[in-house]
Amino acid sequence: MEPILLLCLSLLAHGAEAACRDARFVGTVLPLRAQQLVVAPTRSPAANRLRFRHDVRLTVPVAVGAPPQNVTMVLDTGSELSWLLCNGSRVPSASAPPRAPAAFNGSASSTYAAAHCSSPECQWRGRDLPVPPFCAGPPSNSCRVSLSYADASSADGVLAADTFLLGGAPPVRALFGCITSYSSSATANGNAAATNSSEAAMGLLGMNRGSLSFVTQTGTLRFAYCIAPGDGPGLLVLGGDGAALSAPQLNYTPLIEISQPLPYFDRVAYSVQLEGIRVGAALLPIPKSVLAPDHTGAGQTMVDSGTQFTFLLADAYAPLKGEFLNQTTALLAPLGEPDFVFQGAFDACFRASEARVAAASQLLPEVGLVLRGAEVAVGGEKLLYRVPGERRGEGGTEAVWCLTFGNSDMAGMSAYVIGHHHQQNVWVEYDLQNNRVGFAAARCDLATQRLGARA
């Protein structure tokens, strides 16, 4: 049986430290946190469009190397190769450079080893990474990696290996990208606040099903998390049996497998089958063909901890938007600005005071993502997001709120993505041994207390 590794999750909006303790488990306990990145909205000159950018991410502290160096890494089930900012890395910044996180120093680790051109690792030509490792040639003969992401961020560096320690668990050796050049939409746009934190992440922990992911390299067959809203505590569990940890009764949906390579289908993502979408009791009249991958692979549905909100293809987003607006006419006033698009993909927006939204949130119709054998239900405060820095009305008494479902087509994506905002207060289990993902409604703060972990 796999060793159980129990981790605590805490949303630290104000940077407070959180530590977790559990006397009943032999495993190791450490914090996983949902980190809020405060960034100012940036507008496109042509219209009132705010650029697509993730501003919340789940992070976990890890120790790497010997002697161990403490790093903070984004937990991303939508990515494969893990990476760390390394000494000498270049990160674009504004004219007043933000305080960047300390970089990992490979030369200070006795267990660090960079892959060379002739190494088997550099000859790896698997199907998973869009750009496989490649040789830089003389004089360095280093094995290079180049990574890019949907939000226009990118990372370049060398392929390397070192030991990873999560709390007091035995160290595991894994390949990762030692990044020397990194850029993102936040740093490229000069949003210094996005990285102006001592808790800023200095890497990414790739957790998809690819050959080079941390999950695959370490032989992890099961992991789960429960994300609490606000600043409440939650849990991340690596390995073990969820039932043995008093996890709620899960409804499982099978992972979708397609053996034939298709240009727009990510075969190493946690892909599930979306069967329908409901708003309140109304099941939207969306053809099944719209919800299934087409002959190119476009239209798959992915469960992704690395994406904040949920994205739907246009043919499903349009009826959802229309039905939600229809059912909330008496509760919320539409923004009434046709050119306003938050993060380039969210155009179902409203204007209301915080008190008005608080009162209306309990009356909003629940949105259900109906999966094969399970459902992800989104209700209450999770349905609306207040756009930072946007005020309307005389004296700025009203804020701007947008529905937390975005249009994939507007964001330049060809898939449905269930983001971690809609996974709050949901126990999510990734069962790789049985090729399925389980969901259950949960009070994540209470689950933490039940398992003996205290912030």
Write down the catalytic residue from 304, 347, 431, 445. 304
The yes-or-no answer on residue 304 being catalytic is yes
| Distance of alpha carbon 262 from alpha carbon 198, whole angstroms | 42
Write down the catalytic residue from 22, 55, 76, 162. 76
| Distance of alpha carbon 251 from alpha carbon 339, whole angstroms | 40
**C-alpha distances in Å from residue 101, one per residue of 33, 73, 75, 200:** 16, 11, 17, 6
Q: Which residues of 227-244 are buried (b: 16+ CB within 10 A; e: fewer)?
A: bbbebbbbbbbbbbebee
The yes-or-no answer on residue 76 being catalytic is yes
> Active-site positions?
76, 304
